[in-house]
């Protein structure tokens, strides 16, 4: 019960369909297992509803809100709805991220670049914009942003990499500017994880069989030559959201099986 009596917002609590569990769903389920009441936010209301049913089947509590974080009114509604339903906001977990259509700069479609930055960075800024005043009034709160090891690694995709590097910078800005209010802001940089968004989406986009995609990704991971799972990311988020991390802010935590160690 590491989040007992806390109210947590998980943005991106649904997931891409697939064989495994996604980061947002795993985090929402784990937060509920640990005692939090969870507001499940997603653009896909039905998928967030599936997450809620999983939580309720285990005896947890929460509710669903459909929102598109690239729409400022929707981002505002996330904070106001949480306060209306539960009276406070203890945790904001920003999980939404995309990378479809990304490429190198010389072949970059401007619309793709703008869309990736709108979702990965601007949407995160907007959720924080409206949640932070609530946390400031409370004098407490924890924000966990999902970045990526791509933020500090060499990749062939310009927009995703750049947007995640910006997430790290935004996280540290928010940490430094809100520490005096008792608000902690940290980020997680997942490496290669076996999630539907990673495996099934890459398989569909590339025409590569799912098992082959898994094997290719496994080979890149130093630790046991095996990808992590959404639960690895979720447990890191649980620590950062909990009071156990009460003296941790501005941290950028790799959860990558040692992939980031190879930088440089």
Instruction: Give per-residue pLDDT as tens, 82-136.
Output: 999 999 999 999 999 999 899 999 999 999 999 999 999 999 999 999 999 999 9
Whether residue 160 lies in the annotated active site: yes
Q: Is 225 helix (H, G, I), strand (E, B) or coil?
A: coil
Q: Which two tokens stand for residue 197?
A: 């968004």
Give mean pLDDT, residues 199-216. Answer: 91
CB atoms within 10 A of CB 147: 28
pLDDT tier for residue 261 given thresholds of 50, 70 and 90? confident
Residue 63: per-residue pLDDT: 98
pLDDT tier for residue 263 given thresholds of 50, 70 and 90? low
* Residue 193 pLDDT exceeds 90: yes
198 against 35, higher pLDDT? 35
Mean pLDDT (the chain, rounded): 96
CB contact at 8 A, 13 and 48 = yes
Residue 179: per-residue pLDDT: 98
The CATH number of 7-191+229-255 is 3.40.50.720
∠ Cα 253 147 20 (to 5°): 95
- The model scores a pTM over 0.85: yes
CB-based contacts of 137, cutoff 8 Å, min separation 6: none
Q: What is the full DSSP assignment across 106-159?
A: GG--HHHHHHHHIIIIIHHHHHHHHHHHHHHHHT-EEEEEE--GGGTS--S-HH
Q: Out of 86, 130, 160, 235, which one is annotated catalytic?
A: 160
Instruction: Delimit the domains of the chain by residue range.
Output: 7-191+229-255
Give the integer Cα–Cα distance in Å for 37 and 35: 7
Q: Which two tokens stand for residue 112?
A: 């793709």
Give mean pLDDT, residues 44-70. Answer: 98
Q: What is the pLDDT of residues 218-258, one digit of tens each?
A: 999 999 999 999 999 999 999 999 999 999 999 999 999 99
pLDDT tier for residue 53 given thresholds of 50, 70 and 90? very high
* Residue 264 pLDDT exceeds 60: no
Q: What is the pLDDT of residues 142-184, one digit of tens each?
A: 999 999 999 999 889 999 999 999 999 999 999 999 999 999 9
């Amino acid at each position: 019960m590491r989040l007992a009596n806390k109210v947590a917002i998980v943005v991106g609590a649904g997931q891409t369909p697939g064989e495994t569990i996604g980061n947002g769903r795993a985090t929402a389920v784990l937060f509920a297992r640990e005692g939090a009441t969870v507001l499940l936010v997603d653009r896909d209301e039905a998928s967030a509803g599936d997450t809620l049913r999983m939580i309720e089947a285990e005896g947890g509590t929460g509710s669903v809100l459909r929102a598109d974080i690239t729409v400022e009114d929707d981002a505002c509604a996330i904070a106001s709805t949480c306060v209306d339903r539960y009276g406070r906001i203890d945790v904001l977990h920003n999980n939404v991220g995309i990378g479809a259509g990304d490429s190198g700069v010389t072949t970059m479609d401007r619309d793709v670049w703008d869309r990736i930055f709108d979702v990965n960075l601007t949407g995160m800024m907007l959720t924080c914009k409206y949640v932070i005043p609530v946390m400031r009034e409370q004098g407490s709160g924890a924000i966990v942003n999902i970045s990526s090891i791509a933020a500090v690694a060499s990749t062939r995709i310009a927009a995703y990499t750049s947007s995640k590097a910006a997430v790290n910078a935004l996280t540290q800005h928010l940490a430094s500017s809100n520490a005096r209010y008792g608000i902690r802001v940290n980020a997680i940089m997942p490496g290669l994880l076996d999630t539907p968004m990673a495996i099934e989406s890459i398989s569909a986009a590339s025409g590569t069989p799912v098992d082959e995609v898994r094997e290719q990704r496994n080979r890149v991971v130093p630790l046991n030559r095996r990808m992590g799972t959404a639960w690895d990311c979720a447990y890191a988020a649980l620590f950062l959201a909990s009071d156990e991390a009460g003296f941790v802010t501005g941290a950028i935590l790799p959860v990558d099986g040692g992939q980031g160690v190879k930088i440089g």
